[in-house]
Amino acid sequence: MATGSVEESTSAFVDDYETLISTTDVELLKRAWRNEKAAPEILHYEASLVQRIKEQIELASVKSKVLIDSVEKSDEMATGSVEESTSAFVDDYETLISTTDVELLKRAWRNEKAAPEILHYEASLVQRIKEQIELAEQNVEIFEADGVDPLTVSLYQMDLDRTQFLLRSYLRVRLQKIEEYLFHILKTDDSLNRLSKQEQMFARRCTDDLGKHLDQTVLSKLPDNYQSILKQSITSEEDDMVPAPRLDTFVICKAKQYLSSMDIEPEYSTEITEMERDLLTFVCYKFIKKPLEQGKIDLV
């Protein structure tokens, strides 16, 4: 049965490799391109995917330039050329690492934790992470069944646990915000559209349950003018009992590129004129809300 076991293991690894390849950005772009060509209507723009592809194209261009420059260097400058080339490749490697799905999830998790309001749900990223977690779990099971070195298995398991923690924490932070600003989120389409379908169902169910509970225990026993769950009384012009995120909260952020006053929210361009790349800045959240949504800023 040894031969059969080896063949099954080899087949499993081939399937895993093909699954992993299918989740690369190039394959995802190819899939999006095929879908867009075949669909009779225009589909959703893959903003995050296109941005990552652009970064990878830029990275490939830099690598090519570094290789060409290193070849053209004279023998006298060989030592200096090697050092410069090594430094360039280190920077390229860090840039490449920063575009992996786990790093993107870590970035989304940090932004979600630091932002006072709920941000847009990273649907495509979460889906890819789930697929990679499933693949990693299968690999760990195969390694254990094949008697692979326990240290190797534990390293794979450790990496898997870290990814699962990030995903769970990201989703948990979002649920906490939904519970805290439940009625505020459901008031506007802009806030509601930031949620996933499952989160929208959760928010509506919570609203219904909370409304029924408050009505049965408190509101029904109050005078008619004070039975609203959103207003202190029917004379109130606004929903003054609905907590809203404090957008004037100060946050620490770091710009991924140089930002001028044109990149900041127009009404706050006089408050903050520019932001240097990779420089930590302590600033009011509402000032940098626009570049954060555009992916030009990361919260810390």
Spatial contact of 262 and 230, defined as CB atoms under 8 Å apart: no
Q: Residue 72 CB: number of other CB atoms within 10 A?
A: 9
Distance CA 113, CA 266 (A): 25
User: Which of these, 96, 104, 99, lies nearest to 122 by C-alpha position?
Assistant: 104
pLDDT in tens, 52-69: 878 778 666 655 555 555
Q: 99-244 and 246-299 share one CATH topology?
A: no
Distance CA 153, CA 140 (A): 6
pLDDT in tens, 99-125: 788 999 999 999 999 999 999 999 999
Give per-residue burial for 199-208: e unless 16+ CB within 10 Å, then b: bbebbeebee
Q: Where does the chain show beta strands of DSSP type E? A: 250-255, 259-260, 274-275, 280-284, 297-299
- Look at 13-27, 73-87, 160-174, 286-300 and tell me which has the smallest mean pLDDT: 73-87
Instruction: Determine the straight-line distance between the first and last CA of the chain, rounded to whole angstroms.
Output: 54
Strand duo 259-260 + 250-255: pairing: unpaired
Mean pLDDT for the chain overall = 80
Distance CA 164, CA 226 (A): 46
Domains of the chain, residue spans: 12-71, 99-244, 246-299
- Give 287: exposed, middle or buried? Use CB within 10 Å, 0-12, 13-18, 19+: buried
Assigned fold of 246-299: Ribosomal Protein L9; domain 1 (3.40.5)
H or E segment and range at residue 135? helix 123-145
Assigned fold of 99-244: Methane Monooxygenase Hydroxylase; Chain G, domain 1 (1.20.58)
Confidence band, pLDDT 50/70/90 cuts, at residue 13? very low
pLDDT in tens, 125-146: 999 999 999 999 999 999 999 9
Spatial contact of 171 and 147, defined as CB atoms under 8 Å apart: no
- Name every residue whose Cβ is closer than 8 Å to that of residue 182 and which is 6 or more positions away in sequence: 203, 206, 207, 210
Spatial contact of 136 and 153, defined as CB atoms under 8 Å apart: no
pLDDT in tens, 269-289: 667 778 888 889 899 998 889
